[in-house]
A and B are shown apart, each in its own frame.
Chain A
Amino acid sequence: MTRTPPKDDIPPGTLDMLVLRTLARHGELHGFEIADAIQRISADVLQVEEGSLYPALQRMLLKGWISGEWGRTAENRRARYYRLTVAGRRQLEREVESYERIAEAIARILHGGERAEP
């Protein structure tokens, strides 16, 4: 048994959205920072599986949602910094919208009994 809080894997299909949102908030981040940020902001609930982060980044580069540029970290290490493109911002809106719709629908099902008679 560990004393660390239980960590959940990111729900399937939402990794892209989380990455895009993180980039939208922070501007420019490299891969480790993205993973760290998601974990931190979710209060250590969401754990980015590192094995799928980089393929996802590659995929989004290909789609043109993000762009990558090499820069230097605070410790003067070479790192690729990702930032959101215009297409990426649109994609983020679309994904958030569709996610919220689904989340709402799920919530309605889960809490349906309580809200039976308006």
Chain B
Amino acid sequence: MAALIDLIAQPLSHPFMVRGLVAALLVGVVCAILGTYVVLRGMAFLGDALAHSILPGVAVGYLIGGGARGPLFWWAMGTGVIAALGIGAISRRGEIKEDTAIGVIFAGMLALGVALISTARSYSVDLAHFLFGDVLGVATRDLVLTGVFGALVLLIVFAFYKEFLVLSFDPILAATLRLPTRFFHYLLLVMLAVTVVISLQTVGVALMVAMLVTPGATALLLTRRLPAMMAVSAGIGALSAIAGLYLSYYANVASGAAIVLVATALFGLAFLLAPGRGVLARKVTERAHPPH
């Protein structure tokens, strides 16, 4: 028992681990809750694109600031909101299919970001941080910003719960109820951008989409109503964050990757074992009622 407590407590003797853990928890929960809408509305690709589109903004801030960490958050936030509004505008016009348009733009933005960062001297280390996160380098100031903006996103999810529910389940109903559908569409995209920005340091651009969709997808297999799905998703996000960080500490693997691997493993378990809807449950039902 004492050994177990020691196992849990020992990493917490490093302040950077404590800050990392708090950051990962905050990000894990916010991503998982907003992620339920990403899963239900099929916005995974869009979330991925948004994350990649932020890179050039971060790169410009990085070059101008000479590597200073402080202003980077605001550069990322500005780029993220502009990218969200831009993607929203693209998805309304019909000349090129939406996913094609998003693909073209986000690959281009990513390339621009990489090109800009590559002009700096310590390019490979910094690029790796942007792509895969650097949760152990989180400063107290970053934690405050993450907390404030994360709380704001969750507040909006809660306040407009019934509107987002109607809009996601039946857009025609939302239109006939005269809800401001376009406003809510853009609002959701901006919330997504803010969430991506606060998660950037924890998991990085490349693994962002996993934080958004994996806990939500797992929760969808395990629950029957949206409030329960959000709660279970948040739990899975938190668990993945904590277990992932300990895994990264003891197994000495990259922390963002460890968090995502834990979340993926939990999804795999649910996919196989979920009561009623998992692979195993369906096999059992099939054996009891063989198809004719």
- Real binding pair: no
Taking beta carbons and an 8 Å cutoff, which residues of B are in contact with A?
none
